[in-house]
Structure 1
Amino acid sequence: MSNRGTEVGNLLPVKTWMKNASIKAVLNALAAGGKEARFIGGCVRDELLKLPVNEVDLATPERPERVIQLLEKAEIKAVPTGIKYGTVTAVIRNNTYQITSLRKDITTNGRHPVVEFTDDWREDAMRRDFTFNALSATPEGVVYDYLNGLQDLADRRIKFVGLAEERINEDHLRILRYFRFMASTGFLNDDKVSHQICIDNAYLLSHLSGERIREEFFKILISENYNDVLEVMVKSGVTQYFLPEAMQTNLTKHLIRVENFVNEHINIIIDPIRRLASLISTNRSNADAIAQRLKFS
């Protein structure tokens, strides 16, 4: 079987984010090496869902050292942000693009994997968290789907790649990512087994850094369906492993009504700190402890 995978067809109309001057320069730089680069993960998912695309990531069979060479040859700044994991960041015209070499996990410990680079797009897809995040697309909009991610998007279903417990053991943050996608998409959690596995393994979140927890949890807090998901997380005990002060969601529901009322008159910025404050009941010293635990500064 070809390592190019299953060609689904030209499903993505070529939008501005796929063809602006900055991304074209990066794609042309990578193409100069003779290997295909594709859009990967969230940008493909969000475009298919007709959601705003805020971050554009790329994948390539090129090794990270070669990616740096190709970018610098095109006079594009290359930052080795996670080079041992295959990630290089291209910086051009105040835009940043993460470029990750195709890879497979050799060993994992729930936080930092040891990876091996590969030329196989399917093999790279198999190491991702959810089927809709394993989608990739060429600059022309041809989508490749190895794991039935398109159907899961159509069915509005969050589905782990392979076994949920294995994916969670590889990276414990995937528990929060599962709830984040519930909050941001409103998708179904009708896979009761995977849902319960996330709850039962929530204790693993205590092994992660405050920065990683904060970044993912704040994405939940600014999501459209955040209150419903927070209620599930609090009642099931998920939050006790990183935010034990989160005891109730009644104030959060009230805050939603206030934000909606104010938004009828002026546009307000959705503030994750404000929403976090509505979720907890504590004093100043405990608030300071939360800020330290989640690495606010």
Structure 2
Amino acid sequence: MDRLPSLSSADWLFTSDVQALFNLIEVDGDSLCAVGGCVRNALLGQPITDIDFATTARPDVVMKRCKAGGLRVVPTGIDHGTVTVISNGQTYEVTTLRHDAEPDGRRAKVRFGQDWREDALRRDFTMNALYVDRTGRVHDYVGGYQDLEARKVRFIGTAADRIREDYLRILRFFRFSAQYGDLQLDPAGLRACVEERAGLERLSAERIQQEMKKLMAAPNMAHVVRIMGDAGILDALVPLPAHTLNLARLASWFHETGRQSDPLAGLTCLWCRTVEDTAVLSKRLRLSKKDTVLMRAGVLVADNRLDDGEDLWKRLLYQHGRESFSLGLDLWLARQEDEYSVPLMREAYRFACDFDIPVFPLSGKHLIARGVNRGPDVGGTLQRLEDTWIESGFRLTADDLILMI
């Protein structure tokens, strides 16, 4: 405990809102600590997005004290001891100390407690069980800081027991390994994930989707996903062949260009070679309509010979839009084995950014004014003229097209 660092200089911990929360809850012998990701990331020097708290106070007491202090409180997960406190637009999750009583593989029933060590023992990984009090003093009951220093993602206690409490922890093990770990996954954790992978069937599609998108944004995602493939985890998630080599090329491409990894591009690259594959993946992960349309269009773009040059790029940009075209470039490049494709795709990206996507200059009213019958004739004629316009490289003017009616 003596060798633990201090967070006494952490700005986020000493804001007026956070310290006010300590003042409201730490009365009548109760205590409060920030816990989990905010502590882990602060110790790693990484950005902090959410600030979560653990407390000895029961949920109803937390709500009463915060409301009395003028804060808005929402009972978001009160059955599991969690309430959300809102202060000046910032949200904080405050959860009563607890231990699992009846784990069911998805959401365990819990009992509230007063023991900080017992609360730590029910968490998933050691690096997520670090607490910090209002002074910045770090409390570690399970060796989390030592693992954090070693970049070791390790389950607390017996890995299989932690997984059976919530099978999503299988995916979290791989995601945290890709985000915070070194390239050597914890053997005991990996073995337990493989042995318990059948439990993934009990998870909702939405929870799997959220975790896989987070994994696809992690720095070492390609390396970890390959391990998942070798271990049979990917086969247990989606009924499609996994193209882990393509994903490795995509990750290398993102790294070379200094781009942030795109989760949807990662999922599409890993599992989709055809339009039919996109339908399967969308259904399995319950992707949004927007993601599904984008993914499908990206695959259609990637099915072209994108090394044919600017005329093709113009047509695809017009037909599918800039975002789908960019996704298609990513997917196409991930399928190539030769290095010459990289400078070509750099050129294609620059072209896509600079190209003003044209607007078809005719509408139905132009055709009707020239005597085309209303109804199907208008639509069919418009389509033929638009195809001609595209084939001309968008050079034909409205007058040129009207003369063709």
8 Å contact kept, 1:8–1:142:
no
Is 1:58 aligned to residue 53 of structure 2? yes
- Which amino acid counterpart does residue 281 of structure 1 have in structure 2? C
Name the structure 1 match of 2:270: 279
Is 1:226 aligned to residue 221 of structure 2? yes
Q: 2:147 aligns with which of 148, 152, 156?
A: 152
Is 1:141 aligned to residue 132 of structure 2? no
Which moved further from structure 2: 212-221 or 31-40? 31-40
- Does the residue aligned with 1:144 lie in a helix, a strand or coil? strand
> Within 1, Cα distance between the matches of 2:275 and 2:60?
48
- Does the residue aligned with 1:162 lie in a helix, a strand or coil? coil
> Within 1, Cα distance between the matches of 2:22 and 2:241?
45
Alignment of 1:93-108 (within 5 A): 93-108=88-103
Q: 1:293 aligns with which of 281, 284, 289?
A: 284
- Which amino acid counterpart does residue 265 of structure 2 have in structure 1? R
Name the structure 1 match of 2:357: none
Determine which structure has more spread, i.e. the larger CA radius of gyration: 2
- Does the residue aligned with 1:109 lie in a helix, a strand or coil? coil
Is 1:19 aligned to residue 14 of structure 2? yes
> Within 1, Cα distance between the matches of 2:82 and 2:279?
34
C-alpha offsets along residues 154-175 of structure 1, whole Å, 9 cap, x if unaligned? 2222221111111111111111
Name the structure 2 match of 1:244: 239
Name the structure 1 match of 2:63: 68
Q: Whose helix proportion is higher, 1 or 2?
A: 2
8 Å contact kept, 1:87–1:101:
yes
Alignment of 1:102-117 (within 5 A): 102-117=97-112
> Within 2, Cα distance between the matches of 1:190 and 1:179?
8
8 Å contact kept, 1:131–1:147:
yes
Shift of 1:145: 1.1
- What 5-or-longer segments of structure 1 have no aligned partner? 1-5
- Which amino acid counterpart does residue 96 of structure 2 have in structure 1? S
Name the structure 2 match of 1:171: 166
> Within 2, Cα distance between the matches of 1:102 and 1:27?
16
8 Å contact kept, 1:33–1:70:
no
C-alpha offsets along residues 215-262 of structure 1, whole Å, 9 cap, x if unaligned? 211111100111100111112210111223251122222222332343
- Does the residue aligned with 2:76 lie in a helix, a strand or coil? strand
Higher RCO by CA contacts (8 Å cutoff, separation 6 or greater):
1
Provide the alpha-carbon RMSD of the alignment.
2.0
> Within 1, Cα distance between the matches of 2:130 and 2:153?
14
Is 1:257 aligned to residue 248 of structure 2? no
Which moved further from structure 2: 147-156 or 62-71? 147-156
> Within 2, Cα distance between the matches of 1:26 and 1:140?
13
- Does the residue aligned with 2:138 lie in a helix, a strand or coil? strand
- What 5-or-longer segments of structure 2 have no aligned partner? 289-405
Name the structure 1 match of 2:304: none
Shift of 1:201: 1.4
> Within 1, Cα distance between the matches of 2:40 and 2:147?
11
- Which amino acid counterpart does residue 256 of structure 1 have in structure 2? A
Length-normalised TM-score, structure 1: 0.90
Shift of 1:105: 0.8
- Does the residue aligned with 1:245 lie in a helix, a strand or coil? coil
- CA separation of 1:22/1:290 partners in 2, compared to 1, >3 Å: closer, same or farther? farther
Q: Whose strand proportion is higher, 1 or 2?
A: 1
Name the structure 1 match of 2:39: 44
Shift of 1:294: 1.7
- CA separation of 1:111/1:190 partners in 2, compared to 1, >3 Å: closer, same or farther? closer
